[in-house]
Amino acid sequence: FKDMLISAVLLGLTHYYDERRVMMLLDIYEKSQSVNLSMRALCATLLGMYMNRSRLWDRKLRQRIDSLRELTSWSSDVKLVFMQFIRSRDTERINRKMQEEVFPEMLKLRPDIARKISGGDGLGDIANLEENPEWQELLDKSGIADKIKELSKMQEDGGDVFMSTFANLKSFPFFSDVVNWFMPFHLDNLTVKNALGSELSAIGNLVLSSPFLCNGDKYSFILALSSVPAMQRRMMLSQFDAQNLNELELRNASLGLPSGERDNVANKYVQDLYRFFKLYRRKGDFNDPFIRPINLLQLAVLAPDLTDVDTLSVVGEFYFKRGYYDDAYHVFEILGEILPPDSQLYQKMGYCCQKSKNTAKALKYYEQAELLNADSLWTMRRLAACYKLMGNPAKALEYFKRIEAK
């Protein structure tokens, strides 16, 4: 009930700002003994505040947040949630990668894999795939292995790699009711009991212990599994031997660390929210907070928590590596006001401007980077390219000659 209450208050905040709702969520964050409730309440608070950022002027709210900073976890928790909101922006890019690169390549390999499974000893055991080096070579040559490694790295970084997989499993009648999009997964749920029957304990506990799936995806998995014939379901279950279960237990144990557990709760709750606003059949009835990038740096009341060098550096690098150059430039610009002059920072700011088609501004930052590190070939190449684009071939030639002399 408390979990559902938090989500209900958040949905209210997306339509109408009421400071009392924000205060109630902050009360839950501060006073709850449950990490799950505390972090979900903080996610809801920050999302509600961001959607109503033009109205956050009340002194009472500012005083309340100032008092919360006395809690040792406030600033670190806000940073954790901020990073989850930032990562949610990458979900569509990951989806495109799955739909346009990974899935098509896997479909191309399907005939070869089916042939190899049906050949040889005739047992046709898919479990032998990982034991056969020839089959692994097939995956390596296709390029799928590299793509899967890249997706695994994205998952380790908190990326939502399951959105595209489970998007098609949100058409069950279960998801016609808004409340079920925010329902914590538990084995006493009648939907889970009816779907699994006698296999409730074996499969249910396995899904419950999975650290990879958010609540909505766990329900999707169970509902999809219930439509699989019993024989195939038992075969699938047999693949999860004692070793697999032990690995899950070890992963869950690692999440028991205070920061890891809090980060995981925020990660999974943001994924549940993202799925609701993007996939619910009547999503048009709700104001989607994810329709534009969520940037908590725009909330002045959170400036003391988010504008330290470490946080800005992590955020800036995230944007920069994923090609969000306008956002990266904005963060680097803030860093430039805090840090002493730095050639690499100017290089990145110049590159962001260049990718945004602002060559004149890029040139200014490359020149600043050169003043601090005149021997950088990378900077010289960029300066030459900028002068050439701006119609100054003489200056470009000067830099090309310097590059050639290196």
pLDDT tens per residue across span 109-162: 667 656 655 555 444 454 554 555 555 565 566 566 666 677 677 777 777 888
**Contact indicator for 347, 363 with CB cutoff of 8 Å:** no
Q: How far is CA 154 from CA 20, 96, 157, 159, 325, in A?
A: 38, 14, 5, 5, 19
Report the pLDDT averaged over residues 188-201.
Answer: 82
Q: Tell me how far apart the alpha carbons of residues 184 and 219 are, in angstroms, rounded to a whole number.
A: 9
Q: What is the DSSP string of 202-234?
A: IIIHHHHT-SS--HHHHHHHHHHHHTS-HHHHH
For the chain, which residues make up each domain, given as ranges? 2-88, 91-158, 307-405
Prediction pTM value: 0.83
Smallest Cα–Cα separation from 7: which of 392, 289, 308?
Answer: 289
Q: Looking at residue 90, what is its pLDDT? A: 87
Using an 8 Å Cβ cutoff, are 268 and 185 in contact? no
Q: Sign of torsion, CA 188 190 191 196? A: positive
Q: Could you confirm whether domain 307-405 is CATH 1.25.40.10?
A: yes
pLDDT at 240 over 50: yes
If one counts every other C-beta atom within 10 angstroms of the C-beta of residue 113, the result is 15
- The one-character DSSP state at 287 is -
Distance of CA 69 to the CA centre of its chain: 26
Q: What is the mean pLDDT of residues 348-359?
A: 96
How far apart CA 64 and CA 67 sit, in angstroms, is 5
CA–chain centroid gap for 56, Å, is: 27
